[in-house]
């Protein structure tokens, strides 16, 4: 059983600051896994400190005297990652003027940390699986099987289960890597660890540049404790250094602190972005046009309903049924009782009723209002329909006219896309 003093000793050794229960649990799991040869998958958001846990595992393992290499899979181009990891023979591709050892050969007897494993190409994933299963690999351009004895530690900030479902990550490799899972909590879930880290970063700055350290009053502390820190520890360090450099008053209040914290709400919601690393090729403007088009379509339907009710002298059940799409999101309790029980006519909306009684209506005025509504509707519809057509054309070009994938990107069904193609006469 790992004790609290042992966990504290590891924190001091590797410069980990904080007392969060989630952080302590992650360190405990890393310490338990270290003496074994089991593969470890470290998950957590970018900037949460995943690499520190890989160093803990290697340093407390039986391989601590062997080599340790950390590699960011997302930073290596797809065309060269096989050569980087497994090496290549002379002349195996253009520019291969001499043979080269890969990381798995160089770190034989040690540990290799593969960060951002979710960015690894599928072909390289198959090679990695062979290393994990049999300890074997083949250099690029060679037919000779080589052996290696390397412990693999991996990390990712994406949901690998979703990547498996989308065919972007091998299922067999996922289960092989996820033997021992370690979750590193984001900074916003670590409570007052934020204050401890801020004090550490401002203290380091003052010591390095020989200035008085920054302190936070109660209001400023509350401000940073409430902030979500999407960039985690990396973002907190940058903010601490900015404040230490730019503020002449060394005690910072809430208003001053808030100036250094970018608005979290200014970022687009994940639902509009597509989530995680799955970003659409459409610009933010195109996405907003799509949202506005849906909203405008509802508004146009509502205008038609009000116009028809005005011309007919009231609202009846047939009008409601004709435009039932406007009322799908309403709770049953919000629909008038008479509407569900009887098809009889109902009085006009209060807004129209008040206009009718308070303002004398003349025939010419009525025709002018109706014409303005219809004219506005046509102008808006034409503009938004043009944008919708542009988005459909862009999606079709992106997916080489494959309607299924284009419909998925647009967020509509394939049947609806087919109808839109016919509507806009797209070839």
pLDDT for 360 beyond 70? no
Asked if residue 86 and residue 161 are part of one domain, the reply reads: yes
pLDDT at residue 268, rounded to an integer: 37
* pLDDT tens digits for range 238-281: 999 999 999 888 899 999 999 999 875 444 343 334 444 444 34
Using the 3D structure, point to which of 202, 237, 266 is the last residue of a domain.
266
Helix axes of 403-410 and 363-398: crossing angle, nearest 10 degrees: 130
pLDDT (average), residues 129-156: 92
pLDDT at residue 337, rounded to an integer: 47
Averaged confidence pLDDT in the chain = 80
- pLDDT bin (cut points 50, 70, 90) of residue 418 is confident
Would 279 be classed as within a structural domain? Answer: no
Asked if residue 345 and residue 409 are part of one domain, the reply reads: yes
pLDDT for 119 beyond 70? yes
| Greater pLDDT, 151 or 296 | 151
Rounded Cα distance, 137 and 123, in Å: 13
The torsion defined by the Cα of 25, 27, 29 and 30, in degrees rounded to 10, comes to 170
What percent of the chain lies above the pLDDT cut of 90? 50
Q: Which of 60-64, 92-96, 176-180 has the lowest mean pLDDT?
A: 92-96
* pLDDT tens digits for range 97-116: 888 899 999 999 999 999 99
pLDDT for 136 beyond 50? yes
Q: Which of 26-35, 132-141, 149-158, 263-272 has the lowest mean pLDDT?
A: 263-272
Asked if residue 312 and residue 292 are part of one domain, the reply reads: yes
What's 16's domain CATH number? Answer: 3.40.50.300
What's 215's domain CATH number? Answer: 1.10.8.60
The b/e string for 346-363 (b: 16+ C-beta within 10 A; e otherwise) is bebeeeeeeeeeeeeeee
DSSP letter, residue 140: B
Rounded Cα distance, 281 and 319, in Å: 40
* pLDDT tens digits for range 297-344: 667 667 666 666 656 666 555 655 665 555 554 444 444 444 444 444
Q: Is the dihedral of CA 145, 112, 83, 161 positive or negative?
A: positive
Using the 3D structure, point to which of 156, 185, 214 is the last residue of a domain.
185
Asked if residue 121 and residue 12 are part of one domain, the reply reads: yes
Rounded Cα distance, 335 and 321, in Å: 13
Rounded Cα distance, 205 and 208, in Å: 5
Would 273 be classed as within a structural domain? Answer: no
Q: Which of 92-96, 290-294, 386-390 has the lowest mean pLDDT?
A: 290-294
Asked if residue 402 and residue 322 are part of one domain, the reply reads: yes
Using the 3D structure, point to which of 266, 296, 322 is the last residue of a domain.
266
Asked if residue 140 and residue 109 are part of one domain, the reply reads: yes
3-state secondary structure labels for all residues of 231-257 = CHHHHHHHHHHHHHHHCCCCEECHHHH
| Greater pLDDT, 360 or 117 | 117
Which residue range is the domain that position 238 belongs to?
Answer: 189-266
pLDDT (average), residues 86-96: 82
What percent of the chain lies above the pLDDT cut of 70? 72
């Amino acid at each position: 059983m790992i004790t609290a003093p042992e966990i504290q000793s590891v924190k001091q050794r590797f410069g980990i600051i904080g007392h969060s229960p989630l952080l302590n649990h992650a360190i405990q799991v890393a310490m338990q896994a270290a003496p074994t040869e089991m593969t470890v998958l470290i998950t957590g958001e970018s900037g949460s400190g995943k690499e520190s846990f890989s160093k803990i595992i290697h340093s407390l393992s039986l391989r601590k005297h062997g080599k340790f290499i950390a590699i960011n899979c997302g930073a290596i181009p797809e065309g060269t990652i096989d050569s980087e990891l497994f090496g290549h023979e002379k002349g195996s591709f253009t520019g291969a003027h001499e043979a080269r050892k890969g990381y798995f050969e160089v770190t034989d007897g040690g540990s290799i940390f593969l960060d951002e494993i979710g960015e690894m190409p599928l072909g390289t994933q198959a090679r990695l699986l062979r290393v994990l299963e049999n300890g074997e690999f083949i250099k690029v351009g060679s037919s000779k099987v080589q052996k290696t004895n390397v412990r693999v530690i991996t990390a990712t900030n994406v949901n690998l289960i979703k990547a498996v479902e989308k065919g972007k990550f091998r299922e067999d490799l996922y289960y092989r890597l996820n033997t021992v899972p370690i979750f590193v909590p984001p900074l916003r879930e670590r409570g007052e660890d934020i204050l401890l880290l801020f004090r550490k970063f401002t203290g380091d700055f003052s010591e390095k540049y020989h200035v008085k350290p920054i302190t936070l009053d109660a209001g400023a502390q509350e401000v940073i404790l409430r902030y979500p820190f999407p960039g985690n520890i990396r973002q907190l360090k940058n903010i601490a250094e900015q404040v230490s450099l730019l503020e002449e008053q060394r005690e910072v209040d809430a208003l001053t602190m808030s100036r250094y914290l970018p608005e979290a709400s200014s970022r687009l919601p994940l639902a509009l972005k597509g989530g995680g690393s799955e970003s659409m090729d459409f610009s933010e403007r195109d996405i907003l046009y799509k949202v506005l088009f849906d909203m405008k379509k509802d508004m146009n339907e509502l205008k038609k309903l009000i116009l028809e009710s005005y011309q007919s002298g009231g609202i009846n059940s047939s009008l409601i049924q004709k435009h039932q799409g406007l009322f799908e999101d309403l709770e049953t309790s919000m629909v008038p009782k008479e509407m569900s029980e009887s098809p009889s006519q109902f009085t006009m909306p209060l807004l129209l009723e008040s206009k009718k009684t308070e303002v004398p209506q003349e025939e010419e005025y009525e025709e002018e209002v109706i014409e303005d509504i219809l004219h506005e509707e046509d102008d808006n519809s034409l503009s938004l329909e043009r944008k919708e057509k542009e988005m459909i054309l862009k999606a079709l070009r992106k997916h080489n006219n494959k309607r299924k994938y284009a419909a998925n990107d647009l967020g509509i069904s394939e049947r609806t896309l087919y109808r839109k193609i016919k509507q806009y006469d797209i070839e």
